Structure 1
């Protein structure tokens, strides 16, 4: 195994440099990490070695030890689009199950889960499989992630 080309030990939730030194697209699960080698869009290897496990947000940056920033973007992934006449009620049920959810004016996006999808259909919601970037709401105090019961 060869050594990574780049090393980042610091993360910021927003960019400072209008021209990043690199970009990496990660799905929701891959954006939760502490130490991992990532492959940038350029093909370069980046060792991420953060002091603690961190949820990397879409638009955040990893600061390179050599200078510059690597822009983190949300990669497209398989999701369920949820629509309903009473979207607020459906959103409450999703939140009550601690399911990560991207909330938009006329729809919700969640990770594919047939059990949750069945529950939503019983509540009168419609679901449709889509492939899009996933940027769900953070935790109750504005940081990190909601937690699922799958731990």
Structure 2
């Protein structure tokens, strides 16, 4: 079976194949994935990693497999005070894709209700999800320990 044990945030040429994964599925260490070509790929990374859209897995044959964000159920959030809405989303540590005219977040009826109450227009959409990675590094923001110094 084809195996990948390395990951890079960007490729260096034409990828040999690609795999489309949801936001949650792009957080992994060891898993068998099915590439777009139908080929199985064993991902066996040294640690749990957040794979970003556009990143590449490097196979044992030194070929690159491109990571693509798969369409998934999301909420499109707009409103006249988008900066205020974004503050409320961030205050709840909700992964968020920030665009000029809207925010995208994972579907959550509690968040949708709260956002509507503060004046947001919330619509269901199905699109790829590539949220911001956070101020403390790449990938996921959860699990960051705030007890140490950043000096």
Q: How would you bin the TM-score normalised by the shorter chain?
A: over 0.9
The two structures have a TM-score, normalised by structure 1, of 0.92
1:102 aligns with 2:97: yes
Q: With structure 2 as the length reference, what TM-score do the two structures score?
A: 0.92
Q: Indicate which of 18, 35, 39 corresponds to 1:40.
A: 35
**Alignment size in residue pairs:** 143
* Structure 1: segments with no counterpart, 5+ residues: none
Q: Residue 22 of structure 1: CA displacement?
A: 1.0
Match of 2:122 among 124, 127, 133: 127
Contact 1:99 1:147 in 2 (8 A): no
- Aligned partner (choices 7, 23, 35) of residue 28 of structure 1: 23
Q: Say which SS state the counterpart of residue 144 (structure 1) adopts.
A: coil
Q: Which runs of 4+ in 1 moved over 4 A?
A: none
2:5 aligned partner: 9
How far apart, CA to CA, are the structure 2 residues paired with 1:121 and 1:115?
10
Partner Cα distance (1:23, 1:143) in 2: 21
Separation in 2, partners of 1:36, 1:72: 14
Show structure 2 runs of 5+ residues with no match: 144-151
The Cα shift of 1:142 comes to 3.1
Partner of 1:137: 132
Equivalent residue number for residue 50 of structure 1: 45
